[in-house]
Structure 1
């Protein structure tokens, strides 16, 4: 961007006395030379001493000197600086150039920059100095432009920067999860059709949406860091934002009721995990989720429970949705017949999630329980958005699918509102093609955006589930 520098002198630099005021900022030798040259200038105005009263210069007293090279367009930016003192980096370099005589020669100013007196009295004193300052400004501006061009060649533009590099805390390692961190997809953001996206488009879409759903792998710390930073970014641009957590059931809602109220500052974060029975209910280490709650407290965000109570889930798993009251079925969007294809897909997902170890007879009611939980989170999102401008869901990635998860329910129940789903996805080995993860133009993934991350360090969950089931079977047999 082209710049115009206006040189605005102090009282001591008004008219012919401008050189004296600047000379106070120069090394002794250069200052003496400059004072000597000013003495030959016509009608100098003496500088006021430190203990004399003086009146600041009026607009008519100010001297402006614009400069630009031939062919430059109108300046888009104007930099205003005072001759005394020089306050920023460009001005310090400028005065140093003038003092050291290190200004590149320019044809138009060659006479004025001559070290000896000229027949033209304006070639010394204030006129010469202003011309010299202008030449030094050109040199400084050119150096800035060259530096900026070099930086642009080395650093990617904001829109091309991976979301992780822009949002994650620079004081921490780029990734806490280390498996397959060298996969070329890590840190990349993609649309459902496999086209590459960027941080700006993701955050821009989230800012315009009423419902934002951030899907995670529960035990991956980087997923929670990304969620926390995205929420903080949204909070900066949204007057009223609420959070809904899959991890919190209604019976524990009192533990988070102070968030978003004047009482939020008194929330004891050290005891929050115990009050939420976090470990007892089987969720991963609370330290991964705590930054999100810290963000909510700091930004004044309300927090809502999004899940179902355990006794409700158990009754559905045993008897199906018929165990629910008509009012509850309506709230959970279970009062209409389910699409058989969606039910079949969800049943297969439940089978896979439980490593094929669950009895076939239990899968149908477990799929009903999953549908009920999606309905509970959708209802909580609608409630939360009524309390504010925007609601953000923190949940497992399966719940934020837009084909059969929470987004599909929101689209049916609040069709005028915009919904954005974002999936944090662990890379699998060295596969570096988005199509390997279901992001294809011919059959897009059921998420608006996918952010790739390394894989967390974990034991085989199927082995752990197998051990628990064998232990339970042994206990029943005895």
Structure 2
């Protein structure tokens, strides 16, 4: 039987036997009494009593798993894609926890959607003892779009653990060039032309809905190209000069983290085996969806695991766009 490419990240049989023996000896202490929920003090104020809060749903097996089981599973894969809702503080807290439990010094590459490739050169000036201000200044952190208070813990953790950290996003001038129809001649965009028309149609639907259905779909082609180009850039930075012993973790928005349309599609085009890629979606509870199967991300084509949290805001983000469209 051909072994999975990700098998090299698994525990050795000998060590697994030792771990089982230790757990057997410690049953009375609760080694095998794993909690099926994430234990945390939620910062998001809405739907704190929702029954799914803290649950981790294994989509393939249609069952809940414990946090330690999730960490054990993630350790088997070369590429881990973690999708967040950008304004949810509980998502940022869980991301810091996930990184803290997964990172293995320089054997871990961390790619951030929040930084562009040029900004990440600032890491060359930093080290584990750098202060928050030194880090923010060296990276020219884009606080307006990505509040430093939300992501400082993630960046500091990666720096202190000597992770291989890279930005995956595109600088504004390049985004504008793509919007105007330019095709950047860079290695990180080689996968853009390989994305199928079916996937582009799905992305078009996502972009249409994310713009609150206020812009006609025939005007959204430039936005689709930007979305695909950003996915391509993040995938490239996950794979570029990645050594055989490194594991790469991406922190990004939920749509970029989708298996069917996002960064994963570009990873495959760059030569990654699908069995090397795993996705975790951090998802806010919905008062009208009381079981995990009720959520759009709960499809094996879209994600592998869902971690549920309370909801941060009930603000109608579409209201300003609708108001502009009316005038």
TM-score normalised by L of structure 1: 0.58
Deviation at 1:445, TM superposition (A): 5.1
Which stretch has the larger CA shift, 444-453 or 354-363?
Answer: 354-363
Unaligned runs of 5+ in 1: 1-75, 78-144, 169-173
1:181-208, CA deviations, whole angstroms, 9 ceiling, x for partnerless residues?
A: 1111111111224322222332112112
Q: How does 1:52-63 map to 2 (within 5 A)?
A: none
Q: Is the 8 A contact 1:332 1:379 kept in 2?
A: no
Residue of structure 2 equivalent to 1:272:
135
Contact 1:332 1:372 in 2 (8 A): no
Bigger relative contact order (CA 8 A; separation at least 6): 2
Contact 2:115 2:141 in 1 (8 A): no
Q: Distance in 2 between matches of 1:458 and 1:384?
A: 42
CA displacement at 1:399 relative to structure 2: 0.6
Report what 1:413 is aligned to.
270
Structure 1 residue 379 corresponds to structure 2 residue 255: no
**Aligned match for 2:200, one of 319, 330, 343:** 343
Q: 1:268 to 1:334 in 2, by over 3 A?
A: same
Is the CA contact (8 Å cut-off) linking 2:45 and 2:310 kept in structure 1?
A: yes
Q: Distance in 1 between matches of 2:99 and 2:314?
A: 27
1:381–1:392 contact (8 Å) kept in structure 2: yes
Give the match's secondary structure for 1:243: strand
Unmatched 5+ stretches in structure 2: 1-20
Could you tell me whether the CA contact under 8 Å between 1:243 and 1:384 is conserved in 2?
Answer: no
The residue aligned with 1:217 is 85
How far 1:156 moved relative to its partner?
8.5
**Is the 1:304–1:384 Cα contact (8 Å) retained in structure 2?**
no
Superposition deviation, residue 362 in structure 1:
2.5
CA RMSD of aligned residues (A): 2.8
1:387 positional shift: 9.0
TM-superposed deviation, 1:344: 1.1
Greater percentage in helix: 1
* Greater than 6 Å deviation, 4+ residue runs: none
CA deviation profile, 1:435-468 (whole Å, cap 9, x unmatched): 210366xx5351111101101135321124446x
**Equivalenced residues, count:** 301
Counterpart CA distance in 2 for 1:213 and 1:437 is 19
Determine whether 1:324 maps to 2:183.
yes
Partner of 2:156: 294
Partner of 1:391 in structure 2? Answer: 248
CA shift for structure 1 position 256: 2.6
In the other structure, the counterpart of 1:423 is: 281
CA distance in 1, matches of 2:234, 2:190: 8
The residue number in structure 1 matching 2:33 is 157
C-alpha distance in structure 1 between counterparts of 2:190 and 2:93, whole Å: 30
